[in-house]
Amino acid sequence: MTYCVGMVLDKGLVLMSDTRTNSGVDNISVFRKMMHWEQPGERVIAVMTAGNLATTQAVISQLEERTKTPGERRNTVYDAPTMFQVATEIGRLLRDTIDERQAANGAQGQGRFTASMIVAGQIKGMEPRLFLIYPEGNFIEASWDTPFFQIGETKYGRPILIRAYDRGMSFEDAVKLLMVSFDSTLKANLSVGLPLDMMVIERDTFAAGHQRRITHEDTYFQAISAGWSDSLRNAFNELPDYSFYASADETA
Amino acid sequence: MTYCVGMVLDKGLVLMSDTRTNSGVDNISVFRKMMHWEQPGERVIAVMTAGNLATTQAVISQLEERTKTPGERRNTVYDAPTMFQVATEIGRLLRDTIDERQAANGAQGQGRFTASMIVAGQIKGMEPRLFLIYPEGNFIEASWDTPFFQIGETKYGRPILIRAYDRGMSFEDAVKLLMVSFDSTLKANLSVGLPLDMMVIERDTFAAGHQRRITHEDTYFQAISAGWSDSLRNAFNELPDYSFYASADETA
C-alpha cells in the first residue's frame, strides 16, 4: 500500500508521502512516491502516487520523457497553461496506462494495475491548486469544504486530520499534523513505511520550498512519535470518567 | 458496514457494537449486533456480528432456535462444555450459512454473503475467553499479545486502541476508551452509526453485567465526543513545534 496526503493552506500547499512498496510481505522496497517539476518563478507542479508501482512509474516516466524532448514539448507539465490542464493530461496518461495493461492481461488482470494520484501546484497568475486523480482518469479538486486529499492507506490517519486541520495553520503546524497522521498509520499498518518525503510549496513563490526526507533517525519525528503516544494517553485521561451508576438510561 | 470491538481485561470482558446496517446509502436501518445468553452463576456468552445481515441473523436465529428446543439441546450455547466448543459450533454455523447462500446464488454471489463474528464469554471453572470467527468458520483467540478484536470498519478507531489499551485498566476506563474509538469511527464513516450497544462481563460473575444503549441523547457520549476533539487539539498543540531550519538532514 502507500500513504500520501496533500493539503491546501492559506499559505500554500503541503505534501507528504511514504516510500514503502510491497508485493506480498516478503518483497518490500523503498521507492520515492513524490515527484515535482519546476520553472522557478513561473510554475511548480508536484505529483504523489499510490497503487501499482509499474503503472505509476510508467506515468511518471512518460511525463519525464516529454519534458526532455525539447521542440516536441506539448502537453507537458511545463507548457500546460493551467493546473486543470496538467491534471487532465496526467489523468489521461494514467487511464491509458492502466487500460493498456489490463487489455494486455485480459480479464485476469482486472483491477490489478490501478493507481491513483494527487497533483498539486501553482502556475503564475493563478491560485495554488490540488487534485485527486482516479484510475479512470477523471479527477476532483480540493475546495473550501474538502481542503485535503489522502490516497492509499487513508483510514488510520484520517481522524486526526479531520479534527486538527485548519486552513489558516502555519506550514510548521501542518508538517507536525502530517507527521502525527503518518505516525498513526505507520504504527497500525505494515504496508506503509519510513522514510517519508515532505515538501512545502509556498503560495506565489512558484518553486519547490522546504523539502525533506524523514528517516528512522529523524529526531523530530521520533519526538512526535513518542510524544503523541504520551499526549494521547494524557488527553484520554483528561476526559470525564465514565460511571456505571450515573446514567438515566442504565439497564443493568 | 459495522464496527464492533471486544476486549479482554484482567477484570473481565468489555464489548461494544454499533447498530447501523445499510444496503447502499439510501437504505439505512438500526439493528442490534450484540446478543448474549446467560445461565446466571454458570455461564455467559455474547456474540457480536459484522457483515451480511441476512447471514448473521440466520446464524443467531439458529443459535436461538436450539436453545428453545428443550430435550434436543445439543451443541447449544447452553450445553457446550467449553468456550472453545461454543466458538467451534458458531464457526460451523457461520460457514454453513455462507456456503449455502453462495451455492444457491452460484458464482455470481461470490463473497456477497460473508460475515465475521466476535464471541466472548466465560463458563464456570474456566477463564473468560474472546474469539474472532472468520467467514471460513475457523477462528483465533485473544491472547496477552493481542488482547482485543475489532470487526467491520476497524481502521479509524484502531490507533487510539493501540495506544491507550492497558490490560489492567478499569471497566470504566475501557468503556471510555471504546467510546473514543467509536467516536473517531462515527466521525469518519457514514456506515457506522449510533446508537451503540455496550456490555461488561465481570470475571467470575457468569452473568451479563453493566449493559447500556448509547443514543444521540447520551450526555456522557456527547461529552466524550466534544471533549475528545478539544483534547486532541490540545495534545497536538503540546507536541514540540516543527522548525524548517533546525534539522541536519534538511535539503532546501
Q: What is the mean pLDDT of residues B68-92?
A: 86
Q: How far apart are CA A46 and CA A83, in angstroms?
A: 11
What's the gap in Å between the CA of B185 and the closest CA on chain A? 8
Residues of chain A neighbouring B212 (CB-CB closer than 8 A): 247, 249-252
**Residue A247 forms part of a structural domain:** no
pLDDT band at A251 (very low <50, low <70, confident <90, very high): very low
Q: Which residue of B has its CA nearest to A214?
A: B249
What's the gap in Å between the CA of A131 and the closest CA on chain B? 21
**Residue A250 forms part of a structural domain:** no
C-alpha cell at A74: 506539448
What's the gap in Å between the CA of B72 and the closest CA on chain A? 31
**Residue B252 forms part of a structural domain:** no
Of the given ranges (A6-15, B134-143, B242-251), which has the lowest mean pLDDT?
Answer: B242-251
> Best-predicted range by mean pLDDT among A98-102, B143-147, B150-154, B233-237?
B150-154
For chain A, helix, strand, coil in percent to 5 are 35, 25, 40
C-alpha cell at B86: 461454543
A247 vs B220: CB contact, 8 Å cut-off? yes
Closest to A199 (Cα-Cα) out of B44, B46, B251, B35 = B251
State the pLDDT at residue B57. 96
State the pLDDT at residue A194. 95
- Given A172, A227, A251, which is nearest B211 (Cβ)? A251
pLDDT in tens, B146-193: 999 999 999 999 999 999 999 999 999 999 999 999 999 999 999 999
In chain A, % of residues over pLDDT 90: 80
Question: Quick check: helix, strand or coil at residue A52?
Answer: coil
- Given B231, B238, B252, which is nearest A209 (Cβ)? B252
**Residue A109 forms part of a structural domain:** yes
- Given A164, A229, A252, which is nearest B209 (Cβ)? A252
Q: Is the pLDDT of residue A191 over 80?
A: yes
CA distances for A165 relative to A13, A173, A188, angstroms: 13, 9, 21
The number of C-beta contacts closer than 8 angstroms across A and B is 153
Q: What is the mean pLDDT of residues B241-251?
A: 69
Q: What is the mean pLDDT of residues A119-139?
A: 97
Q: Are B4 and B15 in contact (CB under 8 A)?
A: yes
Q: Give the ipTM of the model, two decimals please.
A: 0.84
State the pLDDT at residue B250. 47
What's the gap in Å between the CA of B158 and the closest CA on chain A? 7
- Given A184, A235, A240, which is nearest B235 (Cβ)? A235
Of the given ranges (A227-236, B148-157, B209-218, B241-250), which has the lowest mean pLDDT?
Answer: B241-250
Residues of chain B neighbouring A158 (CB-CB closer than 8 A): 156, 188
Q: Is the pLDDT of residue A223 over 80?
A: yes
**Residue B75 forms part of a structural domain:** yes
Q: Is the pLDDT of residue B201 over 60?
A: yes
**Residue A239 forms part of a structural domain:** no
Residues of chain B neighbouring A176 (CB-CB closer than 8 A): 236, 239, 241-242
As a whole number, the mean pLDDT across chain B is 92
pLDDT band at B23 (very low <50, low <70, confident <90, very high): confident
CATH of the domain at A79: 3.60.20.10
pLDDT in tens, A34-82: 999 999 999 999 999 999 999 999 999 999 998 887 666 667 899 999 9
Q: Is the pLDDT of residue A216 over 80?
A: yes
Residues of chain A neighbouring B32 (CB-CB closer than 8 A): none
What's the gap in Å between the CA of B165 and the closest CA on chain A? 9
Domain count, chain B: 1
Q: Domain range for residue B19? A: 3-236
A162 vs B187: CB contact, 8 Å cut-off? yes
**Residue A115 forms part of a structural domain:** yes
A176 vs B215: CB contact, 8 Å cut-off? no
**Residue A193 forms part of a structural domain:** yes
